[in-house]
Amino acid sequence: MNKQIEKTFFLGRMLVLSIAIMVVAGSCALERTGGDNRCGLVKPGQHEEVMERQITVKIDYLLFLPQQYEPEGKPWPLIIFLHGAGERGDDLQKVKVHGLPKMVENRKDFPFIVVSPQCLEGKWWLHKTETLKALLDEIMAKYNVDRSRVYLTGLSMGGHGTWHLALAYPEYFAALAPICGEGEPYLAARLKQVPVWAFHGARDTVVPLARSQEMVNAVKTAGGDARLTVYPEAGHDCWTATYNNEKLYEWFLEHRREN
């Protein structure tokens, strides 16, 4: 009797398995005639397909908030600072070597929110355009930022990144100050509504002065507001003099982005 039960049970399981195989085969057969590709099979020819995937971005950054900053008080102007190639890595202390992160360490009354992201070793700001945009969106949503006064600056590799990010998303910025950088002159018309003040050393042997001249001339030709300050005796490091110049910050604050 027990053997008969076992035999019946075995035959039942085989029947269920056979039905399951037939269902899957039938499903795949349907998919081969125009359904989705879950079974890894699709008929030859061109088909409409969809890929949906959530992309996660991550970037470390330094955040400076002015001494009088209040979450519910007056909104504050924001400067995004992009460092040079020598400050890449995963140690944020390196970002403080030059530029605004170095300056605000000892200047708590600096009248801007400053965000200074760090690019990983071996990477370039040109590869991080979407990540920087996501960071900017995050900062504007999280902190009390005056969205009409968002400024962008950077030095060397960060000067390249300044041009590139502004060309990709000109609607975000009220003004930009690229230092010893280079951009894409054929896209300069995108900056027609964004004032530019570029800086370069005449004796720069790393990034030729001509790179800044080309971009400034292209923006002006497109009808934009652009100017270039050349330091006759400076080499690649013309950022120290630039970031120590109070007129740069006064110039930033003269410009607002029209919504």
pLDDT tens, position by position, 61-104? 999 999 999 998 899 999 999 999 999 999 999 999 999 999 99
DSSP 73: S
* Domain chopping of the chain, boundaries: 1-49, 61-253
Tokens of 218: 């292209």
pLDDT band at 47 (very low <50, low <70, confident <90, very high): confident
Cα(first)–Cα(last) distance of the chain, in Å?
85
Place of tokens 């507001």: 225
Supply the pTM of this predicted model: 0.81
Residue 227: per-residue pLDDT: 97
Identify the residue whose tokens are 């979450």: 71
Kindly report, residue by residue over 173-210, the tens digit of the pLDDT: 999 999 999 999 999 999 999 999 999 999 999 999 99
The pLDDT-based confidence of 6 (bands split at 50, 70, 90) is low
CATH of 61-253, one of 3.40.190.10, 3.40.50.970, 3.10.20.30, 3.40.50.1820: 3.40.50.1820
Q: How many CB atoms lie within 10 A of CB 29?
A: 12
Q: pLDDT tens, 97-153?
A: 999 999 999 898 999 999 999 999 989 998 899 999 999 999 999 999 999 999 999
In terms of residues, how long is the chain?
Answer: 259
